[in-house]
Amino acid sequence: MVTIIFFLVFAISVLLLSALFFVSRIKPYCECEICKGYLSSSWSLEFKNLCDWYSHLLKKSPSGTIHVHVLGNVITANPKNVEYMLKTKFENFPKGKQFSTILGDLLGRGIFAVDGELWNFQRKMASLELGSVSIRSYAFEIVGDEIRNRLIPLLESNQNGSVLDLQDVLRRFSFDSICKFSFGMDPGCLKLSLPVSDLQVAFDLASKLSAERAMTVSPLVWKINRALNIGSEKQLKEAIKMVDILAEEVIKHKRKNNFSSQNDLLSRFMRNIDDDKLLRDIVVSFLLAGRDTVASALTTFFWLLSQHPHVIDEIRAESSRLMGETEKATLATFEEIRKMHYLTAALHESIRLFPPIQFDSKFCQEDDILPDGTFVAKGTRVTYHPYAMGRMESIWGQDCLEFKPERWLQDGVFKPQCPFKYPVFQGGVRVCLGKDLSIVEMKSVALALIRQFDFQVVAKDDTPKFMPGLTATVRGGLPVMVQERW
């Protein structure tokens, strides 16, 4: 009884304090069309995805910026604003305590949830490790091994008209690969039996429920549920506990063995960090970044290829020029991958239209004015929207909705675009350190599958419908039929 009364008093205290904070900073109701559309979900009558509605609103805005007052959120697709946030006034647009509160239970003090000195420390360490030739070679070997020994055999065994969820396969592939790379641990998700991994299930659930926190108009509900340990917050706590237990077991095992001679990220970080909790947070952050983003990007890439078979022909022709008509299951070398400009262009074009991270938010530290003239009050959430930016005629021209790899080529050579008009890997000080590794991984997977298999997408929707989450996941997966070309 005493425990129940304590929790009730605690919950009421949290409710009152949070309510005062919320009302003092955010208008709880607004009559503007955007806020009414958001609160009533009337946007869903015309658009499949919230990000498509935001894209529509941002296109109509003369400045490329809108306000969602009930969320206390300024959303922009203006490249000048993005550069201002990520580079010019970087210090005034940190992740912020609000972001850390939402994702802190899962990511802890990991690089994606912190600012200041702790972020700087992790950034420098990660930059040194991910930039080394040895870690890049190690990652390339892991990806090649997973493709050769699991991904291709799995697809070979699922032919003769059987339907396979390619999104699920790619998520399993990337989870195996990133666990090997980050922990030196093999969850075996892509074995022929497609086993269930406790870590994968717990990690997926924790990511999903953490993202749902950010979708609520007010944080009151999830904070009260967390205080009372009920509902989705109880599920989240249990899922994170499972991730913690498995991570702790891996760290203990490495401490007992000679981790100094191992090449995975955790072992490398352990040479400089003694804090096991921080080690857990760092590696879980890399797990989140390296798993879901790669699988998401590849899923929509293959969906786009199903609608543009001429792009497949171009990729195959390019690879044949560089590799020849080799035997099946022969993977490209790193040097061959590097020279495939059309494949690089096709992947970047796919990510332009369907970025794995559809939007990213910062919190304004002090009153500021964006380059387009938008006033941003202290504490306001400011979101830049790569998904919408890929659909802006003002940025990409009248053919912005078309899938055209050629827009990335100049005399047949891949030419990168300004990161502030294409911020899918962020830009400025926080630019993604794993960008090159992820591009090589995606190119390796895509090339291996395109050369050896034909894919027929069973459900050809005009627009993928995405599930709410930290990364873009296609609702219902990507059902395909697979047929070997040889």
Do the beta carbons of residue 432 and residue 359 sit within 8 Å? no
For residues 164 and 457, what is the distance between their CA atoms, to the nearest angstrom? 10
Q: Is 455 helix (H, G, I), strand (E, B) or coil?
A: strand
For residues 380 and 148, what is the distance between their CA atoms, to the nearest angstrom? 48
Order of all β-strands in the sheet with 73-76: 65-68, 73-76, 381-384, 360-363
For residues 201 and 182, what is the distance between their CA atoms, to the nearest angstrom? 18
Both tokens assigned to 101? 């509160």
For residues 147 and 173, what is the distance between their CA atoms, to the nearest angstrom? 8
β strands within 38-148, DSSP E: 65-68, 73-76
CA 44 to chain CA centroid, nearest Å? 23
For residues 102 and 113, what is the distance between their CA atoms, to the nearest angstrom? 9
Do the beta carbons of residue 426 and residue 86 sit within 8 Å? yes
Task: Look up tokens 């950034």; give the residue.
Answer: 123
DSSP one-letter string for 128-182: HHHTSHHHHHHHHHHHHHHIIIIIHHHHHTS-TT-EEEHHHHHHHHHHHHHHHHH
Distance separating the N- and C-terminal Cα atoms of the chain:
70
Beta strand pairing call for 73-76 and 381-384: parallel
Both tokens assigned to 50? 């919230």
For residues 112 and 103, what is the distance between their CA atoms, to the nearest angstrom? 9
For residues 427 and 85, what is the distance between their CA atoms, to the nearest angstrom? 10
Both tokens assigned to 132? 């080394």
Contacts of 443 (CB under 8 A, 6+ apart): 337, 340, 343, 344, 347
Give the C-alpha distances (Å, rounded to integers) separating 200 from 196, 205, 212, 285.
8, 9, 18, 14
Please report, as a single letter, which amino acid is at residue 164.
L
- DSSP secondary structure code for residue 458 in this structure: S
User: Would the annotation count 179 as a binding residue?
Assistant: no
Annotated binding site: 432
Annotated binding site for heme: 432
